[in-house]
Amino acid sequence: MQGCTIALALLFCCLRLAAQAPSAQEIQKLADAQRWSDIVHLLEPRHSRSADFDFYYGSALAHLERWSDAERALQSGRRLAPADPRFPIELAGIAFRQKNYPKAARRLRQAIKLAPRDTYANDFLATTYFLEGNLEAALKYWNRIQKPEVGEIRAEPEPRVSPALLDHAFAFAPASTLRLQDFLTTDARMRSLGIFPQYHFDLRARDDGKFDLQFRASERSGFGESKWAALFLFLRELPFQGVDPEFYNLHRQAINFVSMFRWDAQKRRVYAQFSAPFQHSARYRYAFVTDLRNENWVLRNSFTGQSPALASLNLRHETIAFDLSSTSSDRLLWSAGAEVSHRDFRSVIPGSVLTPQMLSAGYQLKQQVTSSVPVWRLPERRFTVRAAASSQAARLWSQHDEAFEKLTGSLASRWLPQAEGDDYETQQQFRAGKTFGQTPFDELFMLGLERDNDLPMRAHIGTRDGRKGSAPLGRDYFLASWETDKNLYGNGIMTVKLGPFLDVGKITDPSTALGSQKWLWDTGAQLKLRVFGSVVAFSYGKDLRSGNNAFYVTLLQ
């Protein structure tokens, strides 16, 4: 009898509690009325809640700024309903209100995996990236919901370049949706104009829900942005016995003249390039190039220590070239051109290295094509991978007509690990080249540091006593480079970066006297100084095979 009494009492208590328990509809009404304290008062005493009640309870706590309690309640509900996107969205809201934008973005990405078409989640994530300063990632998610709409496009300060040409550089127009692909194409066109060493795009929100886009840039016009910039650009090659006469934005049409005059007795050179938009369009650009060289070469196995001369010569080479490049879309950047050149060799001591075919002199006609495409882009991580390829086919009229082909390819990645800015930056690049046919001596690839070479192994200097020939030469190569940079100082005019690097390469040739024979491993540190848009790199490299040390100064751009 006593047992029955206890059972009846327990049943009565359960029925009473059930009668007192709020329904989901009641909680929903309280939430619609924003009565957050009432929701907490009703749900807080409950030791066991459904996923829906955990959601309402956690949301109410968040509105009352009880962040830790709200986090626990929402995480509890998430464990009960792991496929419900409401929980990561609400958890992202907590992180967002605490200005922890990376955490908010991470939770919103989890929500979008569960509900890819959720308008609120995509808009919320885009806004989070926008506030972080990651415009590319913001556009990626805004574009999913047909946003953002651009109201006006402004340039501040007003550039000197023709407004019509600048307008053609923009792949989007006012009163339209700003697409990520159009933004990337615009970025490529701005770089191709060659007059903006630094620029930035800013979106500014308006009260009507639209955005104004502001283009901010430092601009090269005439001999430079200022007399100090002009003086620096002209004299930056002076320590290397050279000067760089340059003139930009002629007639306000992004018509540029870039040249270099070097009087170094061992490697004289006169280079000039005239470039301009094709038919006043920012989509295409043409260039005429003249390059005259007179160089003394002494081939050695090393730039230091006991390394006897294997061969020597004097090379004279004259080139006239034309090139047409396209930036119609960032999905495919290409250029095509042709060049006519003449070479001859004097004071030749061939040794066992130089063959008659390598010393073929005379006129040469070459056609070249290059292309570049994006392979992988993760705006959320600020990570990009881009591939490029080029082909050079040439015919040389010498004692016997000869032809050769040079094929090169590259795969380059760039990663900015922080949400905005470039305080840290990591770059990696893989490059390879192969030659077919009879290749003249000056068309061989070189792995090493030399002012006229673009395949640096940063512990192998390509000159000794001022003469070229101390870095490995050959017909085929592979080069992998990795470097990371950390900003040390910046004041708007000058930026200083420092970081380590690693170069791994090998170059081969049918001649056993050329090439690297083994894989080369170079490591060290590099200091980059950016002044007026020009970068000077001071590097220290160590050859891990020979132990040689190399100190070098390079003008990167």
Residues 342-354: what's their mean pLDDT?
A: 92
Amino acid (1-letter code) at residue 447 = L
Q: Clarify whether residues 470 and 326 are in a common domain.
A: yes
Q: Clarify whether residues 427 and 325 are in a common domain.
A: yes
* Side-chain half-sphere CA neighbours of 424 within 13 A: 8
Q: Residue 261: which pLDDT band, with cuts at 50, 70 and 90? A: very high
Lowest-confidence range among 5-14, 176-185, 398-407, 481-490? 5-14
- Within-domain flag for 493: yes
Q: Clarify whether residues 383 and 531 are in a common domain.
A: yes
- Within-domain flag for 453: yes
Residue 413 is part of which domain span? 277-555
The H or E element containing residue 153 is strand 149-155
Which of 198, 218, 238 is a domain's end point? 218
Q: Residue 51: which pLDDT band, with cuts at 50, 70 and 90? A: confident
The reported pLDDT for the residue numbered 21 is: 60
Please name the residues in contact with 153: beta carbons below 8 A apart, sequence gap of 6 or more. 170, 173, 174, 212, 213, 215
pLDDT digits (tens, 9 = 90+) for 388-439: 999 999 999 876 778 999 999 999 999 999 888 889 999 999 999 999 998 9
Q: Clarify whether residues 398 and 287 are in a common domain.
A: yes
Q: Residue 102: which pLDDT band, with cuts at 50, 70 and 90? A: very high
**Residues 92, 80: Cα–Cα separation, whole Å:** 18
High-pLDDT (> 90) share of the chain, %: 73
The H or E element containing residue 187 is helix 180-193
The reported pLDDT for the residue numbered 285 is: 97
**Residues 385, 376: Cα–Cα separation, whole Å:** 5
pLDDT digits (tens, 9 = 90+) for 268-294: 999 999 999 999 899 999 999 999 999
What's the structural domain count of the chain? Answer: 2
Amino acid (1-letter code) at residue 465 = D
pLDDT digits (tens, 9 = 90+) for 300-310: 988 988 888 99
- Within-domain flag for 507: yes
- Within-domain flag for 422: yes
- pTM value is 0.88
Does residue 137 contact residue 380 with C-beta atoms inside 8 Å? yes
DSSP SS3 for 483: strand
The reported pLDDT for the residue numbered 39 is: 84
Q: Clarify whether residues 169 and 287 are in a common domain.
A: no
Residue with tokens 């050179």: 269
The reported pLDDT for the residue numbered 12 is: 42
Q: Clarify whether residues 440 and 295 are in a common domain.
A: yes
Q: What is the CATH number of the domain that holds 375?
A: 2.40.160.50
Residues 118-129: what's their mean pLDDT?
A: 96
Burial class (CB in 10 A: 0-12, 13-18, 19+), 460: buried
The reported pLDDT for the residue numbered 7 is: 45
Structure tokens that stand for 15 in this block: 């029925």
SS in 3 state form for 265-319?
CCEEEEEEEEEEEECCEEEEEEEEEEEEEEEEEEECCCCCCCCCCCEEEEEEEEE
What one-character DSSP code corresponds to residue 557?
-
The reported pLDDT for the residue numbered 216 is: 93
- Within-domain flag for 339: yes
What one-character DSSP code corresponds to residue 239?
G
- Within-domain flag for 448: yes
Residue 50 or 433, more confident: 433
Pairing of strands 149-155, 211-218: parallel
Q: Residue 43: which pLDDT band, with cuts at 50, 70 and 90? A: confident
Q: Clarify whether residues 369 and 293 are in a common domain.
A: yes
Q: Clarify whether residues 203 and 351 are in a common domain.
A: no
Q: Clarify whether residues 340 and 475 are in a common domain.
A: yes
Structure tokens that stand for 518 in this block: 């083994």
Residues 493-518: what's their mean pLDDT?
A: 92
pLDDT digits (tens, 9 = 90+) for 451-478: 999 999 999 999 999 999 999 999 999 9
Which of 196, 218, 240 is a domain's end point? 218
User: Is the pLDDT confidence value at 169 over 50?
Assistant: yes
Arithmetic mean of pLDDT over the chain = 91
